[in-house]
Amino acid sequence: EVQLVESGGVVVQPGGSLRLSCAASGFSFDDYTMHWVRQAPGKGLEWVSLITWDGGSKRYADSVKGRFTISRDNSKNSLHLQMNSLRPEDTALYSCAKDKYRNDKVKTFPDYWGQGTLFNVSS
Partner 1 sequence: SYELTQPPSVSVSPGQAARITCSGDAFPSKFAYWYQQKSGQAPVLVIYEDTKRPSGIPERFSGSNSGTMATLTLSGAQVEDEADYYCYSIDSSGKGVFGGGTKLTVL
44 binding partner 1? (CB under 8 A): yes
Binder of partner 1 out of 20, 50, 81, 86 (CB under 8 A): 50
Candidates 39, 33, 37; CA nearest to 53 is 33
* CB 43 to partner 1: min, Å: 8
Give the 3-state secondary structure percentages of the chain, helix then strand then coil, rounded to 5.
5, 55, 40
Total residues interacting with partner 1, rule: CB under 8 A:
24
117 binding partner 1? (CB under 8 A): no
* CB 7 to partner 1: min, Å: 16
81 binding partner 1? (CB under 8 A): no
Q: Answer whether 14's CB lies under 8 Å from 25's CB.
A: no
